[in-house]
A and B are shown apart, each in its own frame.
Chain A
Amino acid sequence: MPAVQRKRLLGVANRYPKMTPEQQRRIRARLDVWSRLTPEQRTQARDKFIKLKQLPPEKRQEIKRKWVERQQAAQPVAPPAATAPVQGGSN
């Protein structure tokens, strides 16, 4: 891992104790994915995060809602469960 990335992660670790339990849970869950991203992807994510933070709260919430709805719509629909058991061929 590059020294700069290591220093940044140490910076995240320094802030970790001051975060809420929910934020700490999210960080633990996302850190693995975050460390696997390319530097370009991380920069892209930071840029969008900053842009989102600069928006008024109502617009920010609207974008978050749009993204959640889009994710829910993209999830594959589970096939309907069989209502009746398959009849066997027994006599």
Chain B
Amino acid sequence: MNEQEFGRTLAGHLNRGLTQINRDALDRLGQARERALAAYQEPVDVPEMALSAGHGMLSGRGRARKGRYAYLLPILLLLAALTFAFYWQSAPLDDNIDDVADIDARLLGGDLPIQAYLDTSMDSWLENSADQ
């Protein structure tokens, strides 16, 4: 007996068994089936994380892609945040460098030598002059 013949024989036994089920059992089976169908709900996609809520619009092949590329979204957001933070930090720093370079140029090209600005006497002279 090959596989097809076995399948047909088994189907015949099952069909014969089905005709021999009594009426009461058939009613109970029917009611159970209706209850099962009533309780059945279409599966709903639950967003895996709040940030990927927009992916709910994807369907079919899109869902498969979502699963594959979902991890990219937080990485992209992180990169965007780091880029923004770097820009925010570096812009004032460059301005500061420019200002300090301007001071350095005037200090180095000025008529007083560097030692004058490191001299502790300069502190008291500056304070006295500022107080007057």
- Spell out A's residues near B (CB within 8 Å): 4, 7-12, 14-16, 19-20, 23-24, 26-27, 30-31, 33-34, 37, 41-42, 44-46, 48-53, 55, 59, 62-64, 66-67, 70
- In chain B, positions 44-91 with a C-beta closer than 8 Å to chain A are none
- Interface assignment of B37: CB less than 8 Å from any CB of chain A: no
Residue from the list B97, B98, B117 in contact with A45, Cβ < 8 A: B117
The distance from the CB of B36 to the nearest CB of chain A, in whole angstroms, is 70
* Chain B positions 9 through 26: 1 when the CB is less than 8 Å from some CB of chain A, otherwise 0: 000000000000000000
* Chain A residue with the shortest CB-CB distance to B117: A45
Do A10 and B101 touch (CB < 8 A)? yes
* Chain A residue with the shortest CB-CB distance to B103: A46
Q: Give the residues in chain B near A9, CB-CB below 8 Å.
A: 101, 104
User: Top 3 nearest A-B pairs by Cβ distance?
Assistant: A11-B101, A23-B109, A45-B117
Q: Give the residues in chain B near A34, CB-CB below 8 Å.
A: 104, 108, 114
Do A8 and B100 touch (CB < 8 A)? yes
Do A67 and B108 touch (CB < 8 A)? no
Report how far A55 CA is from B106 CA in the complex, Å.
16
The distance from the CB of A58 to the nearest CB of chain B, in whole angstroms, is 10
- In chain B, positions 96-132 with a C-beta closer than 8 Å to chain A are 97-98, 100-114, 116-119, 121-123, 125-126, 129-130, 132
Do B103 and A50 touch (CB < 8 A)? yes
Do B117 and A30 touch (CB < 8 A)? no
Q: Give the residues in chain A near B125, CB-CB below 8 Å.
A: 63, 66-67
Do A46 and B104 touch (CB < 8 A)? yes
Do B111 and A11 touch (CB < 8 A)? no
Q: Give the residues in chain A near B119, CB-CB below 8 Å.
A: 67
Report how far A26 CA is from B132 CA in the complex, Å.
32
Residue from the list B108, B114, B122 in contact with A63, Cβ < 8 A: B122
Known: A26-B108, A26-B110, A59-B132. A15 touches B118 (CB 8 A): no
